Amino acid sequence: MGLTTCRNAGLQKRQRGVSRRGETAVLTVLLVVVTGSAPAGEAASAEHRHMQLVGHHDLQHRGAYQPVIQQQGGRWIAYIGHHAGSAINPLTGKVETNGTSIVDVTDPARPRYLHHLPGSAGAQMVQTCRGAELPVNDDRTYLLRSNGNESQQLWDVTEPMQPRLVSTPLSGGHATHKNWWDCKSGIAYLVYDGRQRGWRTGRLLWVMDLGDPARPELVRRFGLPGHEPDSPSAVAPPGAHEATLSPDGDRLFIAYGTGSHGVMQIVDVATLLGCRPGCPASPTARELLAPQIGRLHMPRFWGGHTAWPIMAIEVPEQSGFVGATPRDFVVLVSESFADRCLEDGHDMVFLVDVTDPAVPFPVANYQVAETSGDFCKRGGRFGAHSTNWSYHPRFYRRMIFISYFNAGVRAVDVRDPFHPVEAGYYIPAGAAIQTNNVELDGRGLIYLVDRDGAGLHIVTLTGPALKVLE
């Protein structure tokens, strides 16, 4: 992450390390056959409980950030954003700057690499929408991606092997990060540099109408009071890491701070968008606060990386109380930044009750016990990073998946959000695995990618973990 490494001003005092895979991991991924399937030794040497490997692809050994899985044309296609760097593309025989890997995962046991779309110093973030879901209502499939730290781009990927640039909604800045694109409304929430417009953060939320990808329109810029150009505050608050939209589209949950001095903000979408077409270019602090419903501040050693909602969940243990269920929660994740635990606290996952959105309140947490695997000694980062983003009904309100760097992916049973329980895990083979982000598809498969080049692992639940979904 970056601003390619997802650090912000509040993290400058932390010790930083650059994760590197050991020689064992390099040898492992070099053994992967051309089709991308995993050798027998990969599955045998991985650590797992109630999760098992289905397939693997090395992704040309490019450090990977965000995967998204799109069903299109009778196939399942994985679009995977990469960190900065470069590697040889065996399909062209050329060294290409890291960008977006496009992989056919229709047969998850044999992923097939279709195309590499180079970026400018990486292209970490990817989101997709079918044109039939968007207001434009056409027969195309579109990819939204960050292009290095320079711009945000929209591509037509109807033919995955022949992507075509459609438009560049934002350019001229020097920072990008995670984006959420709501296909139904076409509204996208893009984290992009605000400094070019006088705002006081490189991580500003730009609200864009991408309902017609060929004609992107800016709705407004948004942040915390203190981000605005004319703010009298001596110190600007931490920038946004990402925004996630509730399934009904009514609430936006914005995570600020990433790994320290975190803030979670709950925003009413109708109010946020209600200023159209005359949203202020330089809003006052009062105007920025108008859409806010609630806000939670975190201590200096935890940040807001992901704020992902689980809405209207029935809580069995609360059923005997009048009006106590269903309830709304947010999975709030703080990101680990330093190798070998050289940071001031274990970054973990919090379950925040937002049933009363004006007063969000943490009620539980989930963390991997360091002693369960001597993770601080393994190398690389140990701690939480993020949760899956999609709302697939098979998993939603039952199970979440947390990427935990060298502790792999963790499946967590959240049917009772007051008492989250680990249901399973999968740690790929390697000396210093760095599971970066995780996503799901409609077939019930789980996709995890590695920030240091160990590739894409496709896994599935087994045994008791699978029964949670029944």
User: Distance between CA 408 and CA 426 in Å, rounded?
Assistant: 6
Asked if pLDDT for residue 34 goes beyond 60, the answer is no
Q: Is the pLDDT of residue 340 over 90?
A: yes
State if pTM tops 0.85: yes
Enter the tokens of residue 102: 């496009």
Average of per-residue pLDDT values in the chain: 91
pLDDT confidence band for 7 (50 / 70 / 90): very low
**Please, which contacts does 41-45 make with residues 24 or more away whose CB atoms are closer than 8 Å?**
41/429, 42/428, 42/429, 43/429, 45/429
Q: Which residue is associated with the tokens 């809405």?
A: 311
H-assigned helices in 249-300: 269-273, 285-289
Average of per-residue pLDDT across 130-152: 98
- For residue 106, the model assigns a pLDDT of 98
Tens digit of each residue's pLDDT (9 = 90 or more) over 170-208: 999 999 999 999 999 999 999 999 999 999 999 999 999
For the chain, give the percent of residues with pLDDT over 90.
88
DSSP state of 344: S
Is the domain covering 16-467 a CATH 3.50.50.60 domain? no
- pLDDT tens by residue, 237-296: 999 999 999 999 999 999 999 999 999 999 999 999 999 999 999 999 999 999 999 999
153 against 5, higher pLDDT: 153
Q: What is the pLDDT of residues 351-385, one digit of tens each?
A: 999 999 999 999 999 999 999 999 999 999 999 99
DSSP 341-405: T-SSS---EEEEE-SSTTS-EEEEEE---GGGTTGGGSSSBEEEEEE-----TTTTTTEEEEEEE
* DSSP single-letter state for residue 193: -
By CB atoms closer than 10 A (0-12, 13-18, 19+), residue 252 is buried
Supply 445's token pair.
């498969």
Closest to 175 (Cα-Cα) out of 194, 154, 153? 194
Contact 99, 123 (CB under 8 A): yes
Evaluate if residue 231 carries a pLDDT over 80: yes
Name which residue leads in pLDDT, 9 or 360.
360
- pLDDT for res 438: 98
Name the DSSP letter for residue 261. S
Extract the tokens encoding 11.
């993290």
* The pLDDT value given to residue 432: 85
